[in-house]
């Protein structure tokens, strides 16, 4: 991997402008291999680079891929209007890196949310051509019936869609709970599909994207983690 100067390295990791990063280095805030470095012009090999800043250990990452267990009452927009934004749950430097949520969840929907600063990855994951399945667990206002399941599997017509939308799979998990898989990622899709099928969604949680499950990640509500290459393969 190429070498770059320390100020550029810190800037690329979201720690602020180059001017601010130079100031941090001059003030002795940065150390590598246990040694404080104060020359921002010093070049560093980015391969497997670990460094310490603000008394925390960091690993250089060209791009970051994040999984978050989103709680209720949080907006996925970077410019939230009525509720706190999702970026308030993440380290400040992620905003500097232009981390974006992939496939937004409604403010009252909980569960697995992916975020990244890799534009190509974000586009690929959001593209309907990829047919990435998303698994949701929905609590319903009325009992789950076989008629409801059959309607969702056959496809329901939403008022602003040219063709009916069908669930990939649909299974009752309780008297008023249903597990449903969709691929399209339309606006409020699961809630609107349930309504179109004659029921109403009381609570909704996304528990898997592809084969990446919230259970396997072991994240409590509001917690996040970096995704490794092995995790990305499940997507």
Question: Any idea where the domains of the chain sit in the sequence?
Answer: 3-59, 65-128+219-233, 133-209
Report the pLDDT value the prediction gives residue 154, as an integer from 0 to 100.
Answer: 96
CATH of domain 3-59: 3.10.290.10
Indicate yes or no: pTM above 0.85: yes
Instruction: For 126-174, write each residue's pLDDT tens digit.
Output: 877 788 899 999 999 999 999 999 999 999 999 888 899 999 999 999 9
Task: Give the model's confidence band at 186: pLDDT under 50 very low, under 70 low, under 90 confident, else very high.
Answer: confident
Whether 45 sits among the annotated catalytic residues: the reply is no
Kindly state the average pLDDT of the residues 101-106. Answer: 88
Instruction: For 45-102, write each residue's pLDDT tens digit.
Output: 999 999 999 899 999 999 999 999 999 999 988 777 889 999 999 999 999 999 999 9
Q: Which of 48, 106, 108, 231 is catalytic?
A: 106
Task: Give the model's confidence band at 235: pLDDT under 50 very low, under 70 low, under 90 confident, else very high.
Answer: confident
Task: Give the model's confidence band at 19: pLDDT under 50 very low, under 70 low, under 90 confident, else very high.
Answer: very high
Q: Which residue has the higher pLDDT, 224 or 159?
A: 224
Alpha carbon distance 89, 95 (integer Å): 11
Report the pLDDT value the prediction gives residue 1, as an integer from 0 to 100.
Answer: 62
Question: Considering the domain 133-209, what is its CATH architecture?
Answer: 2-Layer Sandwich (3.30)
Asked if CATH classification 3.30.70.2170 holds for the domain at 65-128+219-233, the reply, yes or no, is no
Considering the chain, what is the average pLDDT of its residues?
Answer: 93
Cα 105 off chain centre by: 9
Q: Is 3-59's fold the same as 65-128+219-233's? A: no
Asked whether the predicted pLDDT for residue 176 surpasses 90, the reply is yes
Kindly state the average pLDDT of the residues 116-121. Answer: 94
């Amino acid at each position: 991997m190429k070498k770059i100067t320390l100020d550029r390295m810190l800037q690329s990791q979201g720690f602020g402008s180059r001017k601010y990063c130079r100031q941090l280095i001059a003030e002795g805030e940065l150390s590598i291999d246990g040694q404080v470095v104060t020359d921002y012009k010093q070049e560093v090999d980015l391969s497997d680079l670990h460094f310490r800043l603000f008394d925390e250990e960091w690993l250089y990452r060209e791009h970051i891929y994040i999984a978050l267990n989103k709680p209720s009452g949080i907006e996925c927009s970077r410019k939230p209007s009525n509720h706190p934004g999702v970026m308030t749950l993440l380290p400040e430097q992620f905003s500097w890196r232009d981390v974006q949520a992939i496939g937004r969840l409604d403010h009252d929907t909980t569960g697995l949310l992916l975020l990244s600063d890799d534009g190509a990855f974000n586009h690929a994951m959001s593209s309907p051509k990829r047919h990435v399945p998303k698994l949701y667990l929905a609590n319903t206002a009325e009992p789950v019936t076989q008629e409801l399941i059959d309607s969702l599997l056959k496809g329901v017509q939403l008022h602003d869609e040219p063709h009916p939308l069908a669930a990939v799979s649909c299974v009752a998990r309780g008297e008023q709970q249903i597990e449903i898989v969709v691929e399209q990622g339309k606006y409020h899709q699961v809630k609107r599909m349930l309504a179109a099928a004659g029921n109403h969604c009381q609570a909704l949680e996304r528990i898997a994207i592809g084969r990446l499950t919230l259970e396997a990640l072991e994240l409590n509500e509001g917690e996040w983690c970096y995704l490794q290459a092995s995790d990305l393969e499940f997507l």
